[in-house]
């Protein structure tokens, strides 16, 4: 109904849906990356971020903690 009022053919629905799915995946990836960076900045400001654990230098400590 919206396509007809704008003047687009009904066949354009498939094209728009296919392109929108790809664009939605890109938007989601950008959103997740932004959330991860924001979380990293907040944890670093609160001194809760341990660079050694993040870089994997304390593997033995992590393994004991998991067990």
pLDDT over threshold 60, residue 41: yes
pLDDT over threshold 80, residue 58: no
- Average confidence (pLDDT) over 28-56: 90
- Average confidence (pLDDT) over 24-37: 96
- Average confidence (pLDDT) over 26-32: 97
- Average confidence (pLDDT) over 35-60: 84
Q: How many CB atoms lie within 10 A of CB 3?
A: 13
Using an 8 Å Cβ cutoff, are 3 and 9 in contact?
A: yes
More confident residue, 54 or 40: 40
- Provide the pLDDT for residue 1: 59
Using an 8 Å Cβ cutoff, are 55 and 49 in contact?
A: no
Q: Which long-range contacts (CB under 8 A, 24 or more apart) does 49-57 make?
A: none
Report pTM.
0.59
């Amino acid at each position: 109904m919206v396509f007809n009022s704008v003047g687009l053919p009904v066949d354009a629905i498939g094209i728009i849906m296919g392109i929108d799915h790809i664009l939605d995946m890109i938007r989601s990836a950008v959103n997740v990356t932004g959330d991860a960076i924001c979380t990293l900045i907040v944890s670093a400001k609160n001194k809760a971020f341990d660079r050694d654990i993040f870089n994997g230098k304390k593997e033995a400590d992590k393994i004991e903690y998991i067990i």
